[in-house]
Amino acid sequence: MSEFINYEELPDWVPGRVLLASDGLGWKSVACRSYHYEGQDVIVPGMKDFMLVGYRGGVTPMQRRYDGRWTRETIGPGSASLLTRAQRVNWTWNKPIDVTHVYLSGALVADVASEVMDCAVTEVALADVLRTDDPVMTQAMEQIAREAETKGLGGALYVDSVARALVVHLLRRYANIQSPARGRGGTLSTAQKRRIVEFIDAHLTSSLDLKIMADVLGLTPCLFARQFRSSFGKPPYAFVTARRLERARYLLARTDAPIKTIALDCSFSDQAHLTRMFRAATGKTPAVFRRQAQ
């Protein structure tokens, strides 16, 4: 066995009945499982991934020992727990509960942190929290679990989007990240700006993460993110989203294509996803924008 366990190995340490799983859905860096657990006293080795636990059914006193210290809470529906990766913990509870686990890879969290901080972040440590009543976290977990259940079109892209927003929230609330001192990073040249914009526009229907875009210009993700922000006034991920919305506006105004088709053509997971993003950016739904534009 490796030093840290995968989430697939967790039932070897915490026996439970699987109620839902994202296994086999092609998600990258994110996974989801729901379990029914009876009361237990278990020791869990360090895990490769960050683990978020959402409590869906049952109320129980719970104790957890982390870093030699015990914490105690009463856990019930709406509560959530956060376990940082690579930490051995002892869990104890005595009542049956239903839970949803969301697993976030260390690479995903570090990638989002690098973009947020405009510097190379190789490791992130999140706080270990036995109970938090955090609606942003629990709603994101519910969205991810619902996608595992419904297996909707564009599910991997949708989950990646939700997971990245969730990671930003976790970094804001549960992590203490220090940005290293850095010199002036400069900006992209005119040729580099033209090349990366052309690449983004040609791949709007594909997954565009920081490394993929940085590789186009032969830069490290850290330097690329910093120079991109200096050149365009916004981070790469926000720029890509804006270009997708710009294409959606063009198609809504100039074509009769169904809105659900435009959503997929612009790399949104479905029409509802496009509507949420479009309304946030313009204050109008796609349907209203189309009526006014045509």
What is the reported pLDDT for 152?
A: 87
State the number of CA atoms in the 13 A half-sphere of 63 facing the CB.
11
Question: What does the block give as tokens for 236?
Answer: 């790469």
Q: Which residues pair with 44 in a beta bridge?
A: 89
DSSP assignment of 105-127 equals EHHHHHHHHHHHHTS------BP
Rounded to an integer, what distance in angstroms lies between the CA atom of residue 113 and that of residue 110? 5
pLDDT under 50: residue ranges of the chain: 1, 181, 183-184
Q: Running DSSP on this structure, what letter comes out for residue 7?
A: G
Taken in order of first residue, the domains within the chain and their CATH numbers are 7-174 (2.60.120.280), 190-293 (1.10.10.60)
Which is it for the CA torsion 21, 100, 96, 9, positive or negative? positive
DSSP string of 274-289? HHHHHHHHHSS-HHHH
Q: Please choose, from the candidates 196, 211, 209, 213, the residue with its C-alpha nearest in 3D space to the C-alpha of residue 161.
A: 209
CA 114, chain centre distance (Å): 14
Cβ atoms 277, 245 nearer than 8 A? yes
Question: For residue 197, how far is the Cα from the chain centroid?
Answer: 24
State which amino acid sits at residue 228.
F
Q: Specify the pLDDT at position 258.
A: 93
Q: Give 47's DSSP letter.
A: B
Both tokens of 278, joined, read 């479009």
